Structure 1
Amino acid sequence: MFWSQNQPQAVNPAVLARQALDKMLLRGPEIGVTPKPGGKGVVGMPVYMWTARGAETYGPNTASASAGGVTVTATAKVTRIVWQMGDGKTVTCTTAGTPYKAEYGKEPSPDCGYRYTQPSSTQESGKYHVTATSTWTIDWTGGGQTGQLTEIRDSGVDITVAEVQVLN
């Protein structure tokens, strides 16, 4: 029996999918939120949350890897963002959210919003630490196979929410 070190090895498309994924830069959300960090929001007013819709922050982001005549292409996109609001509550959004515009006034966000019921002064830091965690779903195909991978990325900001006192 003859054995050779140079015999071609079978290429595993799942390994190529991981290599394609490694070529992508997938970031946590580029957080947009009202109130803006450094500004002040008000208890009971609508909070809008969103992320920039770029290839690195929301997708789609595509890359390929090849070996041994097999090419695998992977496409990553965010399928949900879980917002931890800093007050013990979470909001799950399945869109990138809607950036706030002044003309929206007191209208709630159509797709990714929240309302605080307590001021951030109830927190030790005096601020709410908001964390946005993206779930990236990566679909890949090549070498006669398909598959799916998942990656998690997060970002955070601090916001201040005040209570409005009405005097008579």
Structure 2
Amino acid sequence: MSPHSPARRRTAIGALAGTALVIPFLAAAPAQAAPCHLSGSTGSCNGTVHQPGSPGEGGGSGGNSGGGSGPVAPPAPVGLNPNQGQGFVQVPGNQAPPPPAKPATADLVAQAQAAAAFPVPIVHTAPKGKTFVRLRTSLWVDGFHVVKTQPITVGAQTVQLTGEPATVTWDLGEATRTCDNAGSEDGKACSYTYQRSSAGQPGGAYQITATIRWNVTWSCEGADCDEAGGDLGQQPMQSEATPLVVGEIQTTTGQ
């Protein structure tokens, strides 16, 4: 066949046309491997629609690293207080302790009794400092009066002690005597008549004392009181020793 025959020319033209079609196809092939840029939850890549997580996106979470739908927020920490860092953290088992139990009324009474201060009696006699055998000697004391202690208040209860003087017991050196009152200077309320002089006593005097005995009660006021009150018996308080000289009256008879 001649190189310039019509049949050869048609064959050459067909070959050139086939080559022209193959070259664009090869040039476009690498572009298909480029990652598809999806918008939202769907997108188009060469006409194929891909859903997140579907095959072809790297499988599972691997698709995100290959140009998926953007960064994903980390999951909330498990077991942590959502208010942590906002000033509202409350640790279980760290609640405020319960209020202390109210004290027993008996404990407050004991506390008041331990702090109670009853007056020390002061001794008086008439004649003062020196008396005589067979002469009525008047006796009396200071401090013979009702005593109330300082109230003790704890919660809804207030405890207070009251002491009422009951008797005065006199130790006169020669004998003892009990009076149910404070005594008086005139001797009508409480007195004593010595039978012997004090000459044989140390220092030549009797050392006399007076002891007041208070009947002590307690009271409690308030909603927390276990009881309203009670009796604590007697509380004694003794005076300091006071010297008293007792002489004998000398008599003379004429010859």
Into which bin does the TM-score normalised by the smaller protein fall? Answer: 0.7 to 0.9
Identify the structure with the greater helix proportion.
2
Is 1:84 matched with 2:171? yes
Q: Give the letter for the 1:117 counterpart.
A: Q
1:146 and 2:236 correspond: no
The answer as to 2:140 corresponding to 1:50 is yes
- 1:118-157 aligned at under 5 Å gives the runs 118-142=196-220, 143=225, 144-149=227-232, 150-155=234-239, 156-157=241-242
Match of 1:15 in 2: 107
Over 3 Å counting, the alpha-carbon distance change for 1:166 and 1:5 in structure 2 is farther
| C-alpha distance in structure 2 between counterparts of 1:80 and 1:110, whole Å | 16
Distance 1:157 1:6 in 2: 58
Could you tell me whether the CA contact under 8 Å between 2:141 and 2:210 is conserved in 1? no
- Equivalent residue number for residue 105 of structure 1: none
How far apart, CA to CA, are the structure 1 residues paired with 2:203 and 2:245?
Answer: 10
Provide the aligned C-alpha RMSD in A.
2.1
- AA in 2 matched with 1:90: T
TM-score by length of 1: 0.79
Deviation at 1:5, TM superposition (A): 6.3
Gaps of 5+ in 2: 1-92
Q: Which moved more, 1:90-99 or 1:4-13?
A: 4-13
State the 1:133 CA deviation.
1.3
| Matches of 2:97 and 2:231, distance apart in 1 | 33
Give 1:43-122 correspondences, 5 Å limit: 43-52=133-142, 57-63=143-149, 64-87=151-174, 89-100=175-186, 109-122=187-200
Going from structure 1 to structure 2, the CA distance change for 1:5 and 1:119 (only over 3 Å counts) comes to farther
- Any idea what SS the aligned residue of 2:199 has? helix
Task: Tell me the CA shift for residue 73 of structure 1.
Answer: 2.1
Larger RCO: Structure 1 or Structure 2 (Cα < 8 Å, ≥ 6 residues apart)? 1
Give the structure-2-normalised TM-score: 0.54
